[in-house]
Structure formats: structure tokens, C-alpha cells
Chains A and B, each alone.
Chain A
Amino acid sequence: MSIEINNISKQFGNFIALKEVSLQISSGELVALLGPSGSGKTTLLRIISGLETADAGTIHINGVDTTGHHVRERKVGFVFQHYALFRHMTVFENVAFGLRVKPHRTRPSKAEIRERVAGLLKLVQLEALSNRYPFQLSGGQRQRIALARALAVEPEILLLDEPFGALDAQVRAELRRWLRRLHDEIHVTSVFVTHDQEEALEVADRIVVMNKGKVEQVGTPAEVYDNPANPFVLNFLGNVNLFRGRVHKGLVNLGGINLTAPEHSSADDTPAVAYVRSHDLVIEREISDNGSIAAEIKHIHAVGPVVRVTLTLNGNHGDVEAELTRDTFQNLALERGEMVFVRPRNVRVFVEDYQI
């Protein structure tokens, strides 16, 4: 079922949570709302669900205007970060809840409820736990039960608020892969909120990057990562380094490095900031023709598959951080305190009118 969000605004006291947000989500998609805390992503999710009402704007679910509909009538599934399982009910009763509270006419028979719940528990691979209470389950199990419970009422859309936020790193990684597979299996239109870029990049079909109550960019994980629309998106997805300089008629000068930036051909000697992802900073022993800056190695962090090197650039340009593979690191045989050359690749230049 598609979701159409039109000019939604919401304010809490003096705090503007959402500012004329519009968004289209097609049927069967798995969309991530990604942003820092306070960006309005959870508020937007709650407005879609009907748990919160917007000050202005409309929500259409599958073409039907549901803005005025009560949360009960919207046929959404909602999964909370802290699961919100009914603590005094068994796993079975938790999953059955949505079926048991249906009005008499539409309520399935006891046998049907049993069958449906068993099917859902099988789907989330927790058939054996149906008589347990929530406090007897691990975090990952609780979250899967919460998901089964939300799916029991056959929602038209599934909304998940930081679904993996309360889990430890390993369970988290496992569960998000599992969610991706589950979504491929049942294909219900899903929206999940996260502040973890890695999670969004890995799980979602499309990512909606939000900041300060506004949508910064919408696109597939590859689109938002490779072609960030603005410095915020660039900065939020992965580690970046900043180089300050000036841009004049498409030529960028970054204190030692000269680059071309055709998109800024009309710029007339304006201050600009160049952004380079940490893994796009190449460390070399020799000075390069393509333009590189001399730098001193300040710190080496060599734990894990990626080696992080902090360098101080010559000429008061501040510190940068480069990420290189273990192999490259060993080939270069870098030592702390050495002078090397840093060459940026894939530089993105933004004229300085945008503050992060």
C-alpha cells in the first residue's frame, strides 16, 4: 500500500518538529527515515500511524485520505524501540491481542486465532516460546514478538521506530538482515526510523535523510551515499574531512591542491568547502602531480580491518582522518611522526552558504 505525505507540519511548543514535509512511498517498499535525534523522523512516523496528529498537511494511505482517521482505523502495524510488549501476557496472548480485540462480527474463532498466531510465531522463528512471558525473553526475541504482534492484524503498512536501537551490536546486525529477508518474503510497505546510517544503508530500498524537521534527500542507498545533495547528507553518511578554500569560475583552490568544479562555473571568488570521505584520502610517500598536501602523521589507530590515520596538514589546515586497508597500511609502513603526502579523491565542493 502506498503512502503519500503532503506538507506535514508539526510543532511542540516552540520546537518545530516537522516543517512542510512531503514524501511518496510506493507499495511494497522498505524505506528508512534517517537523521540525528531531533530531526523529526519519529514524529513523522507517529503522524503516519495516527498516534500523533499533524498541525497541517495530509496523509493518504493507498489513495485514501487518512489524516482524520483514528489510529484504530488506519490499519497500521507499529513496532516500538523498547518493544512495548504487554508484560502480563504470554507471547501467545501478545500476538493474539489484535485479533481478540476485534469487534464480534469480524473476530476470528478461537481455533483460527490459534492457527494465525502459530503461523506468525513460525514466521519470526519463535514457535517454541509461545507460553513464555516477555521478561523471560532476550531483547532480540522480544523485538521479533513485537513484530509478529504487529503483523497479526494484517496491517497495510508497517512502521518501526528505531527497531534495533535497544539491542547490542551483534544481535542488531543479525536482526536487521533478518528484517530485510522477512520484508522480501511478505512485501508489506514498511517505514523504519533510525539514526544509524549503516543500518539504513544496509536494510532500506530507499533512504529519506532528515534534518531539523525537513527532508534533505531521498534516494536509494547508493544514490544518497554517492551523490549526496548537500554537506549535511554527506556528513551524516560516513566520515568526512573538510578542506576550506575558494572557488573561482569552476576552479577550486584548496591551499596546495587545484581542482575543477564545473558545477560552480558561475562562482566568482567565493569561499568554498571541499568534502572528502576518509577512505578517499590517499596517503602517498611521493608528491603527486594531481595535487597533494604534505602532512605529518599524528596518530595511528590500527585495530580491525580498517586502519585510521590522523594527519596534521601543512600550512595550518587542521587535522584530517584517512582510512586505509590493512594491506595498504603495511605496504606503506607508516610510522607516527613521519611526513607524507595526502591526495584527496572524489572531492565534493560546496559553496559556503550552508552550515552544518
Chain B
Amino acid sequence: MPDTPRRNMHKDITEPAPVRWLLTGLAILFLGLFIFIPLLAVFTQALEKGYAVYLASLGEPDTLASIRLTLITAAIAVPLNLVFGLAAAWAITKFRFPGKNFLITMIDLPFSVSPVISGLIFVLIFGLQGWLGPWLDEHNIKIIFAVPGIILATIFVTFPFVARELIPLMETQGREEEETALVLGANGLQSFFRVTLPNIRWGIIYGVIICNARAMGEFGAVSVVSGHIRGATNTIPLQVEILYNEYNFTAAFAVASLLAMLALVTLVVKSLVEWKIREQMVYEE
């Protein structure tokens, strides 16, 4: 019916106005209850006693130590998982080999296992009663209740992020561009740096941001292996818990506000990158 006005057609394919308003309203209400109000609460509580107190509670030595430890952990875990994720995605999408599906399943393992269990696994392996415990103790190497354990647990929990982001992206891009590069005389490194990497750079950035957010915010697995030694093995989330349990609410929320800000920054960068990726996809249509 070519004569039918556009407005009518539009009406036919969308829901009636009340339904639309109801659904939108529900979504906003839900978001408000579960995200905006808690976020607001964090910052009001943190700043309740004024700016000076807020800064002072952040400047406390134990808190500063927890921030330092969190940064160190992320600085080690994220690059390692970037390398691992790239290698895994490369192998899975560019080669045929037996056990490929098994590898994909294994990459997803940390997603399906409770973080507490992930932490316990490391205690079982490296703890004093664990398999390697006695040997480590003999050689005076501390992993559990020390920084190495925290880093190991964080790496384990965050390793799917980069790989999971890159695998579908590289799968849709196929192998033809790399094959072309080889035919044109490029060696493996040239093909990787000149062809593969530019094509997946936004995917990498996306994966790294998400991986970093999780690495800094991880609680469960880290809590199990940390031992909660003040000023030594507490990361930011653990420090928040300790302060809260001691009824030091202002300090607890002040430290929590750091994590909230990390979340906000992550969200903004993530949206920017998503927008970039979508733009790239549209170009390739």
C-alpha cells in the first residue's frame, strides 16, 4: 500500500503510548533504586563530615597501602591477561587444532566458578596444608596471605575478559587480511603489528578496561587468599570491608567512593570505545 501515510505505518509497528511509558518508567525506576541511589549514598556518606575528613580518611597509611597494593595488582594482572587473551584469541580464531573447544570452555571457567572457590583453589595449592605448602615454607616463599597470592587470584578471576572480547571480534574479521599480508611478503610480526593489531585495537582497549575494573574491584577470591593483614595484604575492597566492620563509616564510604569513581570512569571509557567499535562496524558494512 504505497499510499498509506508514514505515521500510520509507524503506529502499526510500535506499542501503544501507555505501554511504552510504563516500560520506560519501570526501567528508570529500577535503575534509580539499584544504581543511582546507592551511588548517591556512597558519596553523601563519604562527604558527610566534610571534605577535610574525607581527604584525611583517604590519607590514612593503611588505606594508602591498600590503594598501592590494588594498583600493583592491577598493573601486573592486566598486562599478563592482555598477553594471554591476545595469544588465546589469536590461536582460537586463526588456527585449526584439536582441543580448541576445550580451550574455549576453559577460558570461561572463571566466569562460572564462584570467586570464593577460585581463592580456595589457591589456598589448596599453595597454603600450608596444601600440595606445595610444605615445600614453599621450607624455601621461605610466601604466596598465601601475601601479595603473590593476591596477584595470582586476581589473574585467575580476570583472565577471560580480554580473550572473551577478542574472540568474536577476530572471528568475524576472518583470516583473509592476514593471508593477504603473508602473500604480499610480510612476515608474522609485520602481519601482526600492521594488520591484526590495528583491526582489533578497540576490542583490546575495551577488554583491558573491563579487565582492569574487575581486577581492582575483585573481592571474593582476594579475600580468601589475603589474610587481611593491615597495611600489607588488603586491597581497596578489603579495606572498605574492614573499615565498615569497625563502624568507621565515613572512612569506609570514602574509600568506597574511589571504587565508585573507578566504575564511573570505566563506564564512560567503555561507552566511548563501544561507540568507536560500532562506528568501525558500520564502515565495514
Contacts and interface: CB of A to CB of B under 8 A. Distances in A.
**Do the two chains belong together in a single complex?**
yes
B32 interface: no
Interface string A44-56: 0000011100000
Interface of B is mostly: helix
Interface residues of A, number: 25
Nearest to A70: B182
Contact of B199 (A76, A88, A133): A88
Interface string B33-59: 000000000000000000000000000
Contacts of A78: 179-180, 183
Most A CB contacts (10 A, CB to CB) among B179, B184, B190 go to: B184
A51 B182 contact: yes
A135 interface: yes
Contact of A72 (B185, B195, B199): B185
B187 A88 contact: no
Interface stretch (A79-87, A201-209, A226-234): A79-87
A49 B187 CA distance: 16
A344 interface: no
B284 interface: yes
A124 interface: no
Contacts of B285: 135
Interface in B172-215: 176-177, 179-187, 190, 194-195, 198-199
B102 interface: no
A214 B220 CA distance: 61
Given A71-B183, A88-B198, A80 B176 contact: yes
A101 interface: yes
B175 to A, nearest CB: 9
Interface in A32-77: 49-51, 71-72, 76-77
Contact of B185 (A82, A84, A87, A101): A101
Contacts of B187: 72, 101
Nearest to A75: B185
A133 B199 CA distance: 14
Nearest to A12: B96
A219 interface: no
Contact of B181 (A76, A77, A101, A135): A101
Interface in B217-236: none
Contacts of A84: 176-177, 179-180
B283 interface: yes
Contacts of B180: 78, 80, 84, 86, 149
A135 B176 contact: no
Contacts of A101: 181, 184-187, 190, 194
A149 B182 contact: no
A135 B284 contact: yes
Given A86-B195, A101-B190, A51 B185 contact: no
A97 B179 CA distance: 13
A72 B283 contact: no
Nearest to A79: B180
Most B CB contacts (10 A, CB to CB) among A50, A51, A76, A77 go to: A51
A108 to B, nearest CB: 13
A265 B239 CA distance: 98
A102 interface: yes
Most B CB contacts (10 A, CB to CB) among A51, A85, A88, A150 go to: A88
Interface of A: 49-51, 71-72, 76-78, 80, 82, 84-88, 97-98, 101-102, 133, 135, 149-150, 152-153
22 contacts: A49-B183, A50-B183, A51-B179, A51-B182, A72-B185, A72-B187, A76-B183, A77-B183, A78-B179, A78-B180, A80-B176, A84-B176, A86-B194, A87-B283, A87-B284, A97-B184, A97-B186, A101-B184, A101-B187, A101-B190, A101-B194, A133-B283
